[in-house]
């Protein structure tokens, strides 16, 4: 055999070996890495939405129900296990986020249900909540950037409610807005962290309350709104979304005192 044909055979052999080697590398290394990369990118977008709309009820750690601050169910698998809840199924998660759970505080988020979120937002949220453990560090980073978070505001509210002077019901009521998670659903410009969009804005409620129900003063109407949320439904909102919160008479009277100052 001459040198040329030896070289030819070697070159062919090399090529023949390289094709499957590339295939193997592509299948085992490149494609999964690309898939993981897309998963992270989707989850990261989901996290941005979670921090904006979901953290107020499901918590910064996905722990859900930590009364009185968070009122959603746990989404983090660690806390789900503690409560004996099954792993979140992507299809159930998608439907729950899009349509909400009627009769509970979980609102419908899909634009088809008059919510704020498009299908792709919901898809990214599902990617995040069903891959919680691998995306958790990204959530922590995002929360650290978005200070003051609802969590910080909630904790500050609990502390402020405890510290508010006994002779200042308005200050106590203001602190209770975040301490009792009214802020998860209502926006009040003068209360940091009260940026919820599930219920009506309460700016000016001290005035509008007097016009809601014939025969009720502003004070009576606000009292009733908190004690019996289903007694009257503000136009454009859904009956039964505002929960009957376990508040003492003293807390309700402080909340009313504060809300009446919002003229």
**Residues lying near ligand HEC in the complex (CB under 6 A):** 53-54, 56-58, 71-73, 75, 85, 88, 93, 96-97, 101, 104-106, 109, 125, 129, 180-182, 184-186, 198-200, 205, 208, 212, 222, 225-226, 229, 232-234, 237, 239, 241-243, 245, 255, 259
Cβ nearer to ligand HEC, comparing 109 with 161 = 109
Residues in the chain: 263
The CA–CA distances, whole Å, from 61 to 27, 134, 138, 186 equal: 35, 13, 12, 22
* 3-state SS class at 164: coil
| In the complex, minimum distance from the CB of residue 36 to ligand HEC, in angstroms, rounded to a whole number | 22
Cβ nearer to ligand HEC, comparing 60 with 72 = 72
The CA–CA distances, whole Å, from 207 to 73, 74, 202 equal: 35, 37, 10
| In the complex, minimum distance from the CB of residue 205 to ligand HEC, in angstroms, rounded to a whole number | 5
Cβ nearer to ligand HEC, comparing 26 with 91 = 91
In the numeric block, which tokens belong to residue 222?
A: 């606000």
Dist. CA 151–CA 157, nearest whole Å: 10
Angle between helices 119-129 and 132-145 (to 10 degrees): 110
| In the complex, minimum distance from the CB of residue 68 to ligand HEC, in angstroms, rounded to a whole number | 9
Cβ nearer to ligand HEC, comparing 195 with 255 = 255
Cβ nearer to ligand HEC, comparing 101 with 118 = 101
Cβ nearer to ligand HEC, comparing 12 with 239 = 239
| In the complex, minimum distance from the CB of residue 253 to ligand HEC, in angstroms, rounded to a whole number | 12
In the numeric block, which tokens belong to residue 109?
A: 């988020």
Dist. CA 210–CA 215, nearest whole Å: 9
Instruction: Check: CB of residue 136 under 8 Å from CB of residue 77.
Output: no
| In the complex, minimum distance from the CB of residue 243 to ligand HEC, in angstroms, rounded to a whole number | 6
| In the complex, minimum distance from the CB of residue 219 to ligand HEC, in angstroms, rounded to a whole number | 11
């Amino acid at each position: 055999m001459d040198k040329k044909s030896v070289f030819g055979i070697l070159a062919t052999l090399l090529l023949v070996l390289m094709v499957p080697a590339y295939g193997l590398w592509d299948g085992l290394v490149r494609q999964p890495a690309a898939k993981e990369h897309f998963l992270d990118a989707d989850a990261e977008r989901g996290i941005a939405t979670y921090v904006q709309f979901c953290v107020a009820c499901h918590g910064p750690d996905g722990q859900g129900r930590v009364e009185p601050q968070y009122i959603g169910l746990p989404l983090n698998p660690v806390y789900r296990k503690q409560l004996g809840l099954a792993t979140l199924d992507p299809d159930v998660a998608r439907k729950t986020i899009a349509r909400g759970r009627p009769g509970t505080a979980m609102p419908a988020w899909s634009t088809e249900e008059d919510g704020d979120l498009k299908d792709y937002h919901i898809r990214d949220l599902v990617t995040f909540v069903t891959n919680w453990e691998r995306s958790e560090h990204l959530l922590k980073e995002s929360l650290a950037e978005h200070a003051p978070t609802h969590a910080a505001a909630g904790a500050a509210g609990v502390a402020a409610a405890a510290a508010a002077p006994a002779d200042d019901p308005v200050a106590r009521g203001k602190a209770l807005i975040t301490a009792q998670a009214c802020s998860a659903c209502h926006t009040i410009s003068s209360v940091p962290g009260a940026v919820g969009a599930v219920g009506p804005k309460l700016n000016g409620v001290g005035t509008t309350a007097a016009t809601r129900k014939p025969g009720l003063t502003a004070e009576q109407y606000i009292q009733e709104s908190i004690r019996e949320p289903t007694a009257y439904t503000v136009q454009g909102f859904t009956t039964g979304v505002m929960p009957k919160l376990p508040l003492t008479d003293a807390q309700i009277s402080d909340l009313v005192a504060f809300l009446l100052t919002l003229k």
